[in-house]
Structure 1
Amino acid sequence: MSVDTAKNPDGPAAAPRGELIRLENVTKRFGDHTVLDGLDFSVDAGKHVTLIGPSGSGKTTILRLLMTLTKPDEGTITVDGDRLFPAPEKQVREIRKKIGMVFQHFNLFPNMTVLRNITEAPVTVLGLSRDEAQARARELLELVGLSDKCGMRPGRLSGGQQQRVAIARALAMRPQVLLLDEVTSALDPELVAGVLDVLRDIARSTDITMLCVTHEMGFARDISDRVLMFDAGHVVESGPPEQIFGAPEQARTREFLRAVL
């Protein structure tokens, strides 16, 4: 593949191996409800880490913290050696350029074409020329199987196609980290496989660090280097997918997997 997210020692995704994301003693409350309780975990560069667990266990909150859509009440968050929280706003903006996120509900601009949806942020945030941004967007649309949809508006696309546009949009920023938040949960069942196949291809053919929240256990088993089982704001169990799905050590993990598999 020729896109900038491919494995390439000169590309931005080919960061030196080692820790890329760290959360230390992170606590997040919403009113009287503690969603994350003194959470500690890290993600190494180039690794794919999947968060599983029941709804409300804090998984999506972690992604929202990394995107600075919400702030922790306590603790520190570090990305690529730089403090994301607490940190000055200018530093936060620079760190956010390294992070892309694909949401459950696409969040595309309905008044823009597919091509414009993908090029808008690289032009306005990264300062790319319109021509360079469009060339990158066309490569990414080919990657996600939508090279013939450049001039369409999102409303004319299926849900699965819209989500693939959202994936291309996130990749257009050349992120070091790609956050995936239940990216198939809003799709009709027959559209899920196509989106997951695109993400599998990205996981196998790029060095992007991926942090994924999903209830698609087969997908988690396929793409993960490590799986974290969450419950009530804590990591109950962590390990490679063959351990978590084949021989989980904790009763809570076994109980959850019996319910979803």
Structure 2
Amino acid sequence: MKIAEAAEETPGTATDPYELIRFENVTKRFGDNTVLDSLDFKVHPGKHVTLIGPSGSGKTTILRLLMTLIKPDEGTIKVDGEYLCHEERDGKLVPAGEKHIREVRKNIGMVFQQFNLFPNMKVLRNITEAPVHVLGLSQDEADERARGLLDLVGLGDRCDAYPSQLSGGQQQRVAIARALAMRPKVLLLDEVTSALDPELVAGVLDLLRDIAHTTDITMLCVTHEMNFARDISDCVMMFDQGRVIEFGHPDKIFGEPEQIRTREFLSAVR
């Protein structure tokens, strides 16, 4: 199967040859279980890619690899032209040091299923902590950026609230603002509505739609919200047993999937 490419199925756009994300022959195992099996795919800048498939098919593992929460057993990952978990020394690839990993990872932000806010910090500080200590912004610069993002997510009046004083949907909005505060080139979204009460899901998805449609940020999204995936995606990748079995424009994947396994999965989740 050819390398899954997030630009080639997008109609009406020129293919940018530059690859913002590149997985090459990536394999990840947990004990005897191969979660990703020689995975190859690439994502071009500004594209929105949604990963779908049954639980355990490897989707979230891809996001965790990009965040370096885990490392591949085989293969390489590049982000913005730089190896993520490797470095080139004397013409050879060797495991990367923490300094190199931190530098490349600055380009990546992630919003998790659980909000993971610091409970002892007010909303504003939750957002400014990383820009100050990782990016080296002054407190005034970080505060200004955070207030603008809180306005964007509809929480401009909650700067001084603690996470415990917010609803689940509001906490997830703060988590989105926190990820965006790092000005990442890539935003990873891992089932960001799965921990929310049903009545809060629509508001968070609408916010993410707005971000997708009004910014040039590259998105890699794992979700079971198929309507949301269809709305925001340039490319949908269907995973099964650690492999991409089908990929393409959402109209193709959701309207005329080629693989029986894809049709079965979509029938089950709709």
Q: Where do 5+ consecutive residues of structure 1 fail to align?
A: 1-15
Q: Which residue of 2 aligns with 1:13?
A: none
Q: How does 1:145-156 map to 2 (within 5 A)?
A: 145-156=154-165
Distance 1:216 1:130 in 2: 37
Q: What is the deviation of 1:18?
A: 2.5
Amino acid at match of 1:180: L
Q: Which residue, out of 207, 222, 231, partners 2:216? A: 207
Q: Which residue of 1 aligns with 2:57?
A: 57
Q: Secondary structure at the match of 1:112?
A: coil
Distance 1:91 1:23 in 2: 18
Q: Which residue of 2 aligns with 1:35?
A: 35
Whether the 8 Å CA contact 1:17–1:45 is kept in 2: the answer is no
Q: Secondary structure at the match of 1:19?
A: coil
Q: What is the deviation of 1:251?
A: 0.4
Q: Which of structure 1's runs of 4+ aligned residues deviate more than 3 A? A: none
Amino acid at match of 1:175: P
Amino acid at match of 2:167: S
Amino acid at match of 1:79: V
- Superposed CA deviations along residues 154-187 of structure 1, whole A, max 9, x for unmatched, are 0110000000000000000000000000000000
Amino acid at match of 2:54: P
Amino acid at match of 2:207: V
Q: Secondary structure at the match of 1:77?
A: strand
Q: Which residue of 1 aligns with 2:250?
A: 241
- Superposed CA deviations along residues 180-234 of structure 1, whole A, max 9, x for unmatched, are 0000000000000000011000000100000000000000000000000000000
Distance 1:54 1:114 in 2: 35
Q: What is the deviation of 1:17?
A: 6.8
1:182 equivalent in alignment to 2:211:
no
Q: Secondary structure at the match of 1:228?
A: strand
Distance 1:86 1:51 in 2: 25
Amino acid at match of 1:228: M
Q: Secondary structure at the match of 1:23?
A: strand
Distance 2:158 2:192 in 1: 20
Q: What is the deviation of 1:92?
A: 1.1
TM-score under structure 2 normalisation? 0.90
Distance 1:51 1:140 in 2: 26
Q: Which residue, out of 118, 126, 135, partners 1:126? A: 135
Q: Where do 5+ consecutive residues of structure 2 fail to align?
A: 1-15, 88-95
Q: Secondary structure at the match of 2:71?
A: coil
Distance 2:31 2:193 in 1: 29
Q: Which residue of 2 aligns with 1:3?
A: none
Q: Which residue of 1 aligns with 2:8?
A: none
Q: What is the deviation of 1:237?
A: 0.3
Whether the 8 Å CA contact 1:19–1:43 is kept in 2: the answer is yes
Q: Which residue of 1 aligns with 2:235?
A: 226
Q: What is the deviation of 1:41?
A: 0.4
Whether the 8 Å CA contact 1:52–1:228 is kept in 2: the answer is yes
Q: Could you tell me the percent identity over the aligned residues?
A: 78
Q: What is the deviation of 1:69?
A: 0.2
Distance 2:86 2:145 in 1: 33
Q: Which residue of 1 aligns with 2:3?
A: none
Q: Secondary structure at the match of 1:199?
A: helix
Distance 2:242 2:71 in 1: 15
